[in-house]
Amino acid sequence: MFLGIDIGTSAVKVICTDGTAIFATATAGLTVQSPYPGWSEQAPDAWWLATCAALAEIAKTVPLSGVTGIGLSGQMHGAVLLDSARQVLRPAILWNDSRSTEDCTRLQNVLPNIGSIAGVLPLPGFTAPKLMWVAREEPEVHARIAHILLPKDYIGLRLHGELATDRSDAAGTLWLDQTAREWSEAVAAASDTDIGWLPRLADGHEVVGQVMASAAAETGLPSGIPVVAGGGDAATGAVSLGATEPGRGFISLGTSGQLFVAGDAYHPNPSKYVHAFAHTVPGRWYQMAAMLNGARPIAWLAGQLEIDAGEVVALAESADASRVPTFLPYLTGERSPHGDPHIRAGFFGLEDSTNRAGLCRAVIEAVAFTFADAVDSFGDTIADLPHLAAIGGGSKSPFLLQLIANATGQRIGRTVGSDAGPALGAARLAACGLEVLNLSDLGQQPDVADWFEPAHNEDLIDRLEGYRALYRALKPLNQQPK
């Protein structure tokens, strides 16, 4: 049995599998702290406590003593700063944090070709500008840094005691030279980062350590079992779908949203904020549009209306589609395709007759529209894909997937076990690391449970154009951080 541990933004998810069948799943919730506008932080210890809680839940269904290997996955870009004793120096700065906007400008000015080296232009979500902000605003913290890890790799440290990451997660820092698949001394030097602080690099299926006795005592896991490097959540989600082979693509509907296409060569497209990153398996790269808001606006509205996300979707389905306001979903700015950390969310076109159902429909449509923008940003790259698979919590909604199919013009396939996603991919990497699977097996695609064929809807396309026009109109009003 193999465990996949996925350190998400809203929850830690753990699955137990033999590499194909899923025996048990568990989640433990997380919260995000935002002490100032534009800030997004989490305490790394909270990830560890949630991991332990999820493992305890798994143990109620399957004995952890039978686990033979572990793979890790997690939210990308988060800056976990450690001192020489490997103690956390400050809360982790997350992927959707926008405080380092001016540092991005400074980094691009110092290193104009960074988009070609790192696969994307600097944005505040990435890790390197966060280090520049720490150097500028928290010099006493910066002076004590001895090690930098990404979220999943901090859990790796707690499990096996080593400082290691995989190349797909490293790709999201801006410090990785995507062509060489090694740390870039030029980017590190330009971003107030000592390259010696960065962890060793591995491919996702490589064993990087064994569960320590102390971790075994805390978690109930067997001491000494191997842990593989795993991958960033985009890459492990790809592994769960067999998207390790060229020409395969998917959409991910988690807190953030992703449109991912795998390839066997490095093809940067920085002007459209399409990420060109190293995959977690050797000899593979991918292109990805990353939307900071994904299905998050649905959860946000659910919280405001004091209902659950399923009720938001149900209300949206009941709405009068002819009288739906427009919603911009940019709660934390946007990455692809706008590269705009300043834009914010809002409703436009509210009427006296607008009800909760109309608000819900507007938010659900906005999620679909972000994917339409993402498809456009890829240009012809996506034209030859037979379909896009769908994973993530938002993929549970047939209504949302049909809207995405209609708005993008793409055939969408919801796979069996689509909500397992990155955790399943991490477990499959563990199975590969222990030679139960081989690298070619990772390209096996799961069965599609449901197809969503695109249907032309003139009213929906008109609302999409209105949505795009609203962004353009509001952009000049949102050029300064709040």
Please name the residues in contact with 101: beta carbons below 8 A apart, sequence gap of 6 or more. 124, 341, 342, 481
135-142 own/partner pairs: CB under 8 Å, 24+ apart: 135/192, 136/103, 138/90, 141/81, 141/89, 141/90, 142/192
CB atoms within 10 A of CB 61: 11
CA 286, 10, 399, 374 torsion: positive or negative? negative
According to DSSP, the β-strands at 2-7 and 11-17 are antiparallel
What is the spatial distance between Cα 428 and Cα 445, in angstroms, rounded to a whole number? 12
HSE-CB at 193 with a 13 A cutoff on CA atoms is 29
Whole-angstrom distance, CA of residue 160 vs CA of residue 163: 9
In the residue annotation, 233 being an active-site residue is answered as: yes
> By CB neighbour count within 10 A (0-12 exposed, 13-18 middle, 19+ buried), where does 424 fall?
buried
Antiparallel, parallel or unpaired: β 69-74 and 2-7:
parallel
Neighbouring C-beta atoms of residue 38, cutoff 10 Å: 18
How far apart CA 343 and CA 331 sit, in angstroms, is: 8
Query: How far apart (Å, rounded) are the C-alpha atoms in residues 338 and 341?
Result: 9
- Three-state SS for 40? coil
Compute the CA torsion angle 305, 310, 312, 314 (nearest 10 deg).
-130
What whole-number distance in Å separates Cα of residue 175 and Cα of residue 186? 8
Structure tokens at 128: 């390197």
d(Cα 190, Cα 112) in Å, to the nearest integer? Answer: 11
Catalytic residue selected from 97, 177, 233, 373 = 233
Backbone phi, psi, residue 25, to 5°: -135, 155
Rounded-to-integer distance, Cα 304 and Cα 307, Å: 8
Candidates 434, 388, 473; CA nearest to 69 is 434
Active site residues: 233
